[in-house]
Amino acid sequence: MKTIGIDTNNYLIYEGNTFWGHALWPSPSILPAAIVSENSDDLSPPDDNKSNYPLFVFIDDGYDPTSRIRKGRIYQKYEAMQPYQWHVNPHPAIHSDLQDYNENGVIRKDLATFHEFNYKCKLDQLKIANPLIVLGTSTQFTIWSVIDVETSISGETILFLKARKTIGALPKVNYSLIDEQCRIQIKDKLDLLSDDIYKAGPDSIVDRTREAASAIINAYLLSNEHILKSRDLGKLVSPLRDKAKKHIVANCADTLAKLHSRTKHVEQDNKELRPINESDAELAVQLIATILLELELTL
């Protein structure tokens, strides 16, 4: 069994079979990793305060800036008590190791231990059809799509990753133009959407855009004396077209309402609709940007 050991005192890396190994020098970059479904509401890695070690680590074997493809291997935490005792060769970066090895030429070290695993079998166990790899911690992380998988001669799974498509950012809002009684609600809705753009799945993003659009349009209609307060975007389309003459905003609201209905499994089944994906989420964010621009609420 191929294993990776991490000396948490100096974060030097060892590899080997079972618990006999040698140093990797220079040390590769190793990141905490998580495997999540593209359709998850929250794509951020788990914040596991009960353990000092992540469930998975990603060993970075290189990045091609031309193709923007990252290559590496994922290892899973060894289930026994951590850290685990290894027998390793002296590390070239630690001069004292050359004096401490035993008659067999090895040193005993307690290392955080991770083992290789069958990536495809693991996906079947986790029941993940569209996997994403999240690298980093719960506070700072990046999201990557798996574009290819290879198996090395040693049996290790090598993943080829590409950064998840960035969903468009929102324009800056001039909150002074929004009625005071609606300002806080709209800011809260847009802040939640902005946060979801970077860490949530497409269903959640579309849901946030519907809430933000409803708050923005209700505030606009109220300020222009077209009083109609409703969370249902479909009911806001008619006054936008007939009274406010904001046809582009009405079309954006109508599209968002239809996208939002597709996030409901009942609607998908009854009308045989395809599930929401990242392209839909990107469109929904751009529709919010267009609504803000058309209503002249941006800086």
- In the chain, domain spans: 2-163, 175-294
pLDDT at 13: 94
pLDDT of the residue at 273: 81
Torsion, CA 245, CA 249, CA 251, CA 254, rounded to 10: -110
Give yes or no for a contact between 210 and 256, defined as CB atoms under 8 angstroms apart.
Answer: yes
pTM of the model: 0.66
CA dihedral (49, 190, 187, 229) in degrees, to 10, reads -120
Question: What is the per-residue pLDDT for 117?
Answer: 85
State in words which class domain 175-294 has: mainly alpha
Looking at residue 128, what is its pLDDT? 84
* Amino acid 164: pLDDT: 76
Run means of pLDDT, 10 residues per run, the chain, 299 residues: 90 92 92 87 72 86 88 91 90 80 83 90 82 88 91 88 76 91 93 86 92 93 74 84 90 93 82 85 94 93
How confident is the model at residue 229, as a pLDDT? Answer: 66
pLDDT score of 227: 63
Task: Note the pLDDT of residue 1.
Answer: 81
